[in-house]
Structure 1
Amino acid sequence: MTDSISSVLSQIRAYQNQLGQATRVAGDMPRSDAIQGLAGGVQAPGQAGAVTGASFSETLRGALQGVSEAQAKAGALQRAFELGEPGADLARVMVASQQSQVAFRATVEVRNRLVQAYQDVMNMPL
């Protein structure tokens, strides 16, 4: 139980560090192929008391919206390719499809980890 919570916390901290490095390198402009909604409200591990960004629910909502947009973009490119439109080549379709698939898998994994953490907390003896 404690190992799974520690694992989730270490993954969150690693993601925060990666996000902080990406923000310093690229400035405040997100990449055009990045999933939107993840950059706001993330604090460094030492700033737990400072409330400067979005809440957890807003961040989660933004991430889910970004995944939905990635899936919609992949679907639109796939339809354009099937119709033979000139701007939709196979490489772009495959890249967009893989990006949406990875984003969805990550979302499902986060959901599974949250459910497992909730179950662990609920099963703790008083």
Structure 2
Amino acid sequence: MKIGADNLYAQMQSLAAQAGTPIQSEVAPVGPKVENANSSTFGKLLNQAVENVNELGHKSKEMTNRFEMGDQSVSLADVMIAKGKAGIAFEATVHVRNKVMEAYDKISNMPV
């Protein structure tokens, strides 16, 4: 699975649209930033994404347990779909973490 800059930018735009904050492509001026009380920060969006991955994992585990206990309202297909969603979300999170760490290493090794 390869994560491209275009896909990442499109996902960031969709998250910003959901949060009601448009992403601007212009370079922001350097200086002290006054935070708007109702604007979402990158940290909040990242936290929401991680919580979503965690929720998918818990939902998958719950559906698995319900299926194993014989709950007739949960089918094997539902369990497999939930496990697939949780696995893909976790894998994507690991890829993003690896890319962030790679970028951090590159920046920390830059000459000043």
Q: Which residue number in structure 2 is paired with residue 4 of structure 1?
A: none
Q: Which residue number in structure 2 is paired with residue 61 of structure 1?
A: 47
Could you state the TM-score of these two structures normalised by the residue count of structure 2? 0.76
Kindly tell me: are residues 59 and 98 of structure 1, through their superposed partners in 2, closer, same or farther at Cα, counting changes over 3 Å? same
Kindly tell me: are residues 112 and 66 of structure 1, through their superposed partners in 2, closer, same or farther at Cα, counting changes over 3 Å? same
Please say if 1:43 is aligned against 2:22. yes
* Structure 1 unmatched ranges of 5 or more: 1-6, 24-38
Q: Which residue number in structure 2 is paired with residue 74 of structure 1?
A: 60
Could you state the TM-score of these two structures normalised by the residue count of structure 1? 0.68
Aligned residues: 102
**Structure with the greater alpha carbon radius of gyration:** 2
**Contact 1:74–1:100 (CA<8 Å) still a contact in 2?**
yes
- Write out aligned runs for 1:90-109 (5 A): 90-109=76-95
* Structure 2 unmatched ranges of 5 or more: 29-35
AA at the equivalent of 2:95: E
Structure 1 residues 24-76: Cα deviation after superposition (integer angstroms, max 9, x where no partner): xxxxxxxxxxxxxxx43663344765x66311111111111000000000000
Give identity over the alignment, percent.
29
**Contact 1:13–1:45 (CA<8 Å) still a contact in 2?**
no
Give the whole-Å Cα distance in 2 for the aligned partners of 1:74 and 1:47.
41
Q: Which residue number in structure 1 is paired with residue 11 of structure 2?
A: 15
